[in-house]
Structure 1
C-alpha cells in the first residue's frame, strides 16, 4: 500500500479550524446500562494516565460501559508480546506509526473497517488522515492526534548561561557547538548540553530525509547506506568526545519513556523527541521548556519533518466486544468534553470540532505545541510510505543496541555502520 500526503491537503484537513463534525456516528447508541467491561492499555506519563482515566470515567457515565485502565511503563512492548502469546490482548491498546503495521501483521490488532460509519465515526478526519492508520489496505487504528519530531530545550538553563536557544534555523554544526558551550557553562560534572542522539531512529530518519533519503523504502528495506550510517555515528561520537552530550551510561537509561530521558532527568539541557510530549516533560521540571525543530543541514535544504499520527488506538484482535471498543475510541476522539480533558497531550486533535472547542482553554505549554505544529506548515514534506513490519525490532534490537555499543567503545564506527545495515535488513527480510 502507498500512502502519500500533500502538506497543504494535510494541513487543511488536520489543522484548520471551523467546520462542524457530527459526534455520534450513524447507529451509535449511548444508552445507559449497556453492560460491558473494556480493558484499555497504554504507555506514557502519569499525566497521560490521569487524562485517559478521566475520559474512561466520562464514557462510563454516558454509556454504562466500564473502562478498566492498564497503564504500563518501559516494559509495554514486552507486556503486549505476553498478551499476544496468551491471546489476552486488551480490548483497546495503544500503538504509534512505527508499530502499527508490525502489530497488525502479527495479528494483534483487529481491522476496524466494519465499524466505520456505525460505532466508529472518523468522518471529520478526512480520507488522508484515515489513511495514516491503514496497513495492507485496512484500517487498523485511529489517530489520536497530530505531531512531528522536535527539539526541546531548557529556557532557564540557556538564559542563565547567556547562550541563545536553538531556533528552526539551527544547523547540526550549530547544535553541536551550542551543546558543548552549555556543558562548559553549567559548571556541573553530571550535566551536558545534549542527549546522545545516535540511538534515536526517528531523528536519524529526519537527518536522512534532509539528505534526500529515508529510513525505510517502499519495499520494506533500509533506505540508507553504510556511508550514511558512518557519518551519523561519527557526528554523535565527535559530540560525545567534545563532552557536548551525555555519556553512554546516562543515555541507555532512556527506553523511550519521558521519565528516563536525559532532559527530564535533569542531565541535559536539550532533548530530541515528539512535539506532543512537551506537556509531559514540562510537568517534570520547574524550568521553562521551549520547543523548536530538529537541527537542519543548512539554509535552503529540506527540513526532514513530516506530520504524523502522534499515537493510535487499536482494537485487540481477541476482544469479545469489538463494537463497544470501537464506540469507546469514537468517543475518545470526537466528544468535546473528552477533548477538553485530553487537551493536546497526545497531539493536536484530529477532529475539527474538538480542536475548535479546546483551543481557547489551552495553557501556554499546550498552546506552544499547537503553535509548533502550525510552524511546520510550509516546512513539512509528504508523509512517507508505511513503516514496514519489523520496524519495532529494528529500533529495539538493532538501532539502539548498535548505538550503545559505539558509545561504550565496544565496536568501531565502521563496524557499527556495517552491522546496522546487515542486522537491520535481516530483521526486515525475516518478516516481510
Structure 2
C-alpha cells in the first residue's frame, strides 16, 4: 500500500471554485485508504486523479487499494471480518445491503466536509438506503438500447420512433423483418435475456420489481418467464445472434459488435464499446415500453462508495473532502472519464458536456431524460442474493439448450435465490 505523492497537475485555486473543494484537508499522518476495483487503465486514471486531488489539498495523502472485481470482494470479506476495511471504499452492487447489514457504512448526514449543496431533496432521498444517507453514489446508469447508426443507414432502415409505437411487440416485429431481409446477413439483436438492467426495466413496466423494500424477490414466475419467452421467440426466429455466435448467453461484444444492429445494455457501455469499432457510429435510445406500463417505471442505477463506520472523526472529515472531489468536480472526470456513468452531481453533469465526446453526450442526454422523470422507488439487492446473475445465466443456458422451459427456469431461479436470501437472513 503506497501513498501517492502530491502532484502538480491542477492548482488548488482552480479546484476550490468547484464543489467546495480546496484548502488543507484534515487528518493525521496516515494516508487515507481508498479501495476500488477495475482494470489497469482505470487504476492509472485514478492515480492521476488522486495526484491532482492532492495538489488541491496539500495535507492529503491517499493510499489506493486496487484489485479486480472478484478479488476486491474477496478482500472485503476478509477485511469485514477483521474490521480493517478501507476508509473509503466502492460498494459492489450485489453487496450493498450485505455491507449495510454488517454495519460497514458511516452515516454521511452532518458530515460538514461532504458538499451536498448541488443536490435537491429528491436527489438525496433517492441516494438513501432505508432512509439513511450512508453511501454516496458517484455515477448513474440507466437501461438503454444501443444501435449502429452506420448499419441502419447502409441497410436503409429506421427504428420505430419513441412514443406509442415503440413497444416490445413492435421491436420484435422489426427485429424479425430486419434479420430476414437485410442484405448484409446481420442480426437485429444479440441475445440479451441475461442483461440485468433491461430485465429490471421489463419488470417495472409490468408493475413488478427486482427486489422489495423488505429484502425479498420482487418478481413473480410469470414476470421472469414472460421475459425469457420474449427472447426465446426472437432467438428461435433467428432474429438474434445464436448462443454459439455470441459465445454464451452473455454476448461477447468484441465478437458480435460488427454482426448486429442493436443491443441492450447499460447507458455507460457505449463509451468503451464504441471504441472497439471506431469505423461505426453508435447512438442510444430508451428501451421499448409496454402499452400498459404505469408512469414511474424508469429508474436510476447508482454505483456507490462509502466511508467506513470504523473510521475516526478526523479521518472521516478528510474522507468527506475526497467524496466531494470525486462527485462534484469536472477535474475528476477529466482524469478518470465517464465509464462509471453520468455524473451524479447535476451541476457537473451539465458542465462536463463541454469536454465530453459524442458517445459520452449520448449517455449524458439519455440519463438526463430519465432523471427528470418522477420515478417509483427502487430497492437494492438483499443479503444472500449476490449470485442471482449467475443463477440467471445458468437457467437461461438450460432453456436455450432445450433442457428447460421459461416457466421452469423462472421457478428454479426464484426457489434457489429465495433460499439463499433466507439463509442470509
Secondary structure at 2:264 match in 1: strand
CA displacement at 1:290 relative to structure 2: 0.8
2 CA distance for matches of 1:355 and 1:153?
23
CA displacement at 1:295 relative to structure 2: 1.5
Q: 1:384 to 1:352 in 2, by over 3 A?
A: closer
- In the TM superposition, what are the counterparts of 1:8-27 in structure 2 within 5 Å? 22-24=19-21
In structure 1, runs of 5+ residues without a counterpart are: 1-19
- Alignment partner, residue 311 of structure 1: 303
CA distances 1:271-321 after superposition (whole Å, capped 9, x unpaired): 2222233222222221111100112223x7447742424321223456685
2 CA distance for matches of 1:106 and 1:248?
39
State whether residues 194 and 249 of structure 2, in contact with CA within 8 Å, keep that contact through their aligned partners in structure 1.
no
- Alignment partner, residue 331 of structure 1: 325
- Alignment partner, residue 283 of structure 1: 275
Does residue 173 (structure 1) correspond to residue 136 (structure 2)? The answer is: no
Secondary structure at 1:216 match in 2: coil
CA displacement at 1:171 relative to structure 2: 1.7
CA displacement at 1:31 relative to structure 2: 7.2
State whether residues 41 and 90 of structure 1, in contact with CA within 8 Å, keep that contact through their aligned partners in structure 2.
no
CA displacement at 1:241 relative to structure 2: 0.8
The structure 2 residue matched to 1:92, chosen from 88, 94, 100, is 88
Secondary structure at 1:159 match in 2: helix
Query: Which one is further off, 329-338 or 316-325?
Result: 316-325
When the two structures are aligned, how many residues end up with a matched partner?
400
Q: 1:85 to 1:162 in 2, by over 3 A?
A: farther
1 CA distance for matches of 2:81 and 2:287?
38
CA displacement at 1:164 relative to structure 2: 1.5
- Alignment partner, residue 68 of structure 1: 64
CA displacement at 1:362 relative to structure 2: 2.4
1 CA distance for matches of 2:99 and 2:394?
22
1 CA distance for matches of 2:102 and 2:311?
16
Q: 1:204 to 1:125 in 2, by over 3 A?
A: same
Secondary structure at 1:393 match in 2: coil
State whether residues 402 and 416 of structure 1, in contact with CA within 8 Å, keep that contact through their aligned partners in structure 2.
yes
Q: 1:329 to 1:164 in 2, by over 3 A?
A: same
- RMSD of aligned alpha carbons: 3.5
- Alignment partner, residue 221 of structure 1: 216
TM-score, normalised to structure 2's length?
A: 0.80
The structure 2 residue matched to 1:361, chosen from 347, 352, 355, is 355
2 CA distance for matches of 1:294 and 1:304?
14
State whether residues 148 and 310 of structure 1, in contact with CA within 8 Å, keep that contact through their aligned partners in structure 2.
no
Q: 1:352 to 1:235 in 2, by over 3 A?
A: closer
2 CA distance for matches of 1:113 and 1:92?
12
CA displacement at 1:85 relative to structure 2: 5.3
Secondary structure at 1:235 match in 2: helix
TM-score, normalised to structure 1's length?
A: 0.79
Q: 1:23 to 1:81 in 2, by over 3 A?
A: same
2 CA distance for matches of 1:374 and 1:37?
33
State whether residues 304 and 381 of structure 1, in contact with CA within 8 Å, keep that contact through their aligned partners in structure 2.
yes
Q: 1:234 to 1:355 in 2, by over 3 A?
A: closer
- Alignment partner, residue 402 of structure 2: 409
State whether residues 149 and 282 of structure 2, in contact with CA within 8 Å, keep that contact through their aligned partners in structure 1.
yes
CA displacement at 1:148 relative to structure 2: 1.7
State whether residues 47 and 280 of structure 1, in contact with CA within 8 Å, keep that contact through their aligned partners in structure 2.
no
- Alignment partner, residue 5 of structure 1: none
CA displacement at 1:233 relative to structure 2: 1.6
2 CA distance for matches of 1:135 and 1:389?
11
- Alignment partner, residue 197 of structure 2: 202
State whether residues 21 and 321 of structure 2, in contact with CA within 8 Å, keep that contact through their aligned partners in structure 1.
no
- Alignment partner, residue 234 of structure 1: 229
1 CA distance for matches of 2:93 and 2:191?
23
State whether residues 93 and 381 of structure 2, in contact with CA within 8 Å, keep that contact through their aligned partners in structure 1.
no
CA distances 1:353-374 after superposition (whole Å, capped 9, x unpaired): 4334323232322222222123
- In the TM superposition, what are the counterparts of 1:105-144 in structure 2 within 5 Å? 105-107=101-103, 109-113=104-108, 116-144=110-138
1 CA distance for matches of 2:352 and 2:414?
45
Q: 1:152 to 1:392 in 2, by over 3 A?
A: farther
CA displacement at 1:165 relative to structure 2: 3.4
Does residue 274 (structure 1) correspond to residue 271 (structure 2)? The answer is: no
Structure 1 or 2, whichever has the larger Rg, is: 2
Q: 1:98 to 1:125 in 2, by over 3 A?
A: farther
State whether residues 296 and 376 of structure 2, in contact with CA within 8 Å, keep that contact through their aligned partners in structure 1.
no
Q: 1:118 to 1:357 in 2, by over 3 A?
A: same
